Copies of this chain bind each other. A is one copy, B any other.
Amino acid sequence: MTLADVAQAAGVSTATVSRVLSGSRPVRADIARQVRTTADRLGYRGNGIARALRQQRTDAVGVVVPSILNPFFTALVDSIEGALHDTGKQLVLCDSRQDPELEAQHLRLLVERHVDGIVVSPCDATASIDAVSRTAALVPLVQLDRRVDVAETDWVGLDDDRALGIVLEHLHARGARRVAFVTSRMTNSSTVDRLRGFEDGVRRLGLSVVPDGIVLDDFSVDSGERAAGALLDRETDRRPDAIVCADDLLAIGVLRACHERGVAVPDEVQVTGIDDIVFSRYVSPRLTTLAQPTAQMAEEALRLLAQRAVGAARDAPTIRLALRPSLVERESTRGQA
């Protein structure tokens, strides 16, 4: 069942059928109707592969994330899928499982698949450099959230410096003075930027960091729980009065550790996260956190991709779009003083 079959059955040329079905050029109304009826009757479907080969465009975009199981990336993928669908494109989803090799392999496959563009959140700030820059040389590519510092690609993400500033100002205004920071190992850009933002904010606001107050593990509930354990099981004067977390998973772990020890949140210790994942609203106490504008991030990323797709802007200067986070005040920090 091909265009040619429809053309023959309708007694017209393949070009006419193509024009009718794609609407690419005007066709006499009665012929158009006739073609459409015939196509319908035969159950003609169209072949996106043949079209893609001819048009050099697949209407597919590849997305590579470190872990779809991380609720933040789930939300991001959801936003991207929605935005893509609005423009008639589809999403090829790849999970790098935090493995640079697997990530590189996925990128290679996406290039072979000739996707129209690639959105990637590189799992490792250094180990991902090669694959990302090689790929960017072949296909429009935009980095989202995490990035590697190679000059030649656009990036959309959170303004991490400002993010930590907002959190620390909030905590400071609510009476916090001796803080701790629970984060992941410094293998990705978000982590690095957030640590810098934390240190800048501490200095600026005249806060102090408790001894061994910066704990590095990975983005998971369990490691948040461990980290908080270490911060809470010590003499009162070395305990923090606020624990800032680099993401919500860690913060939820911290809340669990507090609950376990009967440490009152927010009265004894205030706790904050980043991302505003769905579950941050459902823990007790509900988590104060910084929401990432995932819908806007997705939209901007795809806009940049589309821009690079047209030859003109192919080697325009690259853009870094740092979006503003918004504080979601809930119950794990104190009310207005």
A–B complex contacts, Cβ < 8 Å, 27 sampled: A45-B138, A49-B49, A49-B52, A49-B58, A49-B113, A50-B53, A53-B53, A60-B92, A68-B77, A68-B81, A69-B74, A69-B78, A71-B71, A77-B93, A78-B95, A81-B94, A81-B95, A82-B95, A85-B102, A90-B94, A90-B109, A90-B110, A90-B113, A221-B281, A252-B282, A256-B284, A282-B283
Is A259 part of the binding interface, using a Cβ–Cβ cutoff of 8 Å?
Answer: yes
Shortest beta-carbon distance, A226 to chain B, in Å? 14
Within A94-109, the residues touching B (CB, 8 Å) are 94-95, 97, 102, 106, 109
With known contacts A112-B48, A282-B252, A81–B93 Cβ distance under 8 A? yes
Within A264-285, the residues touching B (CB, 8 Å) are 278-279, 281-284
Which residues of B have CB within 8 Å of A92? 60, 90-93
Task: Find out whether the CB atom of A47 lies under 8 angstroms from the CB atom of B114.
Answer: yes
Which residues of B have CB within 8 Å of A291? none
Query: Binding site of A, secondary structure by majority: helix, strand, loop or mixed?
Result: helix
Is A46 part of the binding interface, using a Cβ–Cβ cutoff of 8 Å?
Answer: yes
Task: Find out whether the CB atom of B114 lies under 8 angstroms from the CB atom of A69.
Answer: no
Task: Find out whether the CB atom of A93 lies under 8 angstroms from the CB atom of B93.
Answer: yes
Shortest beta-carbon distance, A79 to chain B, in Å? 10
Mask: chain A, 233-259; 1 = CB below 8 Å from B; 0 = not: 000000000000000000011001001
Is A321 part of the binding interface, using a Cβ–Cβ cutoff of 8 Å?
Answer: no
With the chains together, A113 CA to B90 CA distance in Å?
A: 10
With the chains together, A283 CA to B47 CA distance in Å?
A: 49
Shortest beta-carbon distance, A260 to chain B, in Å? 9
Which residues of B have CB within 8 Å of A50? 53
Which residues of B have CB within 8 Å of A93? 77, 81, 91-93
Is A75 part of the binding interface, using a Cβ–Cβ cutoff of 8 Å?
Answer: yes
